[in-house]
Amino acid sequence: MKRSIVIAGNWKMHKTNSEAQQLANQIRMKTIDITKTRMIICPPFTALAPVYDIIKDSAIHLGAQNMFWEKEGAFTGEISAGMLKSTGADYVIIGHSERRQYFGETEETVNKKIKTALENGLKPIVCVGETLEQREENITLKVIGKQIRGAFDGLTPEDLQNVIVAYEPVWAIGTGKTATPEQAQEVHFEIRKLIAELLGRETAEATVIQYGGSVKPGNAESLLSQADIDGALVGGACLKADSFAEIIHIAEKLKK
């Protein structure tokens, strides 16, 4: 089965509203010829609506970087799925390693957020990945297996049609280090195998699994050429329109 190639940009805590609109407009102009690659940009909460105004008539989708699982209430500083939908967002990153590392995200909270996102028509980009210590201890697959099982607890094959998985080795995020294409492919293969065990072979074959972790124009082709790598969740390189658009064009060229 030929899956979509999906390139998403996680802007993290960067860009004021005017800067975000400028970047979104540049990306839009530089990707106007893209027809086969799904493109998603994920600005900070404050810039979601202003960025949507720039991209709403384009092929670029809007995503958020996080959300809370309650509909509304006394949850100071949190953002609900309904609030995200009202900005024009149709994707949301859930369980990013920085959320796990700095803000106490757990398997249970990731699972709650995924279910709430799906109930509200948002497509989750679910992040999994191991630390350098865990890789050196040779427990990568054990760690990722726990994360996948926890994230997908109670989900159906139908749910998975609207879920993207992003494998992001924590040791490669923002460090300039990248898993070799072979290392990344090995983990992607195992993730797909685990999804097959949990939800069936057909579901696993249809699931988009992105790679994230210092993806840039120089390594994008070798990563995206791997059999089980269906796109990229891009960090630093998505903050400049030229490099992000170049990665998208590499993906477009590879999509036969």
Catalytic residue among 98, 105, 130, 168: 168
Catalytic residue among 96, 98, 188, 249: 96
61 flagged as catalytic: no
Contact 42, 27 (CB under 8 A): no
Cα–Cα distances in Å, from 154 out to 125, 214, 252? 17, 32, 34
249 flagged as catalytic: no
Provide the token pair at 55.
């991209």
- What does the H/E/C string look like for the chain? CCCCCEEEEECCCCCCHHHHHHHHHHHHHHCCCCCCCEEEEECCHHHHHHHHHHHCCCCEEEEECCCCCCCCCCCCCCCCHHHHHHHCCCEEEECCHHHHHHHCCCHHHHHHHHHHHHHCCCEEEEEECCCHHHHHCCCHHHHHHHHHHHHCCCCCHHHHCCCEEEECCHHHCCCCCCCCHHHHHHHHHHHHHHHHHHHCHHHHHHCEEEEECCCCHHHHHHHHCCCCCCEEEECHHHHCHHHHHHHHHHHHHHCC
Hey, which residues are catalytic here?
Answer: 96, 168
